Amino acid sequence: MVSECLKTNAPFGVLLIKSGSDTGPATTYDVGTLARIIDWYLGSDGLLGITAIGEQRFRLISADRRPDGLNIGDIELLETEDPFLLPEQYKPLAHILAGVLDDLGRLYESLEKQYDDAGWVGYRFAEILPISPDQKQSCLEANDAMQRLDLVEKVLDSVRGPDS
């Protein structure tokens, strides 16, 4: 799959596993992300490492496992959210996010920053926060930027503690 994606610059689908494993049969959620490989390297151990960036959400319509173990499927692309101005109450989240992304360096340096877009801010926090895979999936499936921002705020409040 990686070889084909590198040759044709084609995206690949990423779905969270509900049960099973990433090296065998698995049951996945239906909503995932199309990702594109933007960099690769060959490690000293001979293993190929890749860097990919998510591009668009999709819903899995049907799936099949090829004899070589590769899972393939038919998908429908989900609508991209229109930019939504970050409400005033969430502006502090954008400042926190800017600091965190700066600290992460190379991982986010080439990403176009959209700190005034509520959807963009919510998705970036869903990527970086230490929340459960199920919570990340809920953020991915949510069609409402405010739902994601509410979850982010709750997680940050739980880290800060009651006296913050």
Look at residues 77, 98, 113 and tell me which one is the last residue of a structural domain: 77
3-state helix, strand, coil in the chain (%, to 5): 40, 30, 30
The domain that contains 28 carries what CATH number? 2.30.130.40
pLDDT at 143: 86
Same domain, 68 and 94: no
pLDDT at 116: 96
Q: Is the pLDDT of residue 164 over 60?
A: no
- Whether the CB-CB separation of 34 and 58 falls below 8 Å is answered with yes
The domain that contains 140 carries what CATH number? 1.10.4060
Most confident of 16-20, 101-105, 158-162: 16-20
Look at residues 77, 99, 128 and tell me which one is the last residue of a structural domain: 77
- Residue 149 in any domain: the answer is yes
Q: What is the pTM of this model?
A: 0.84
* Residue 113 neighbours by CB under 8 Å, 6+ apart: 98, 101
- Residue 82 in any domain: the answer is no
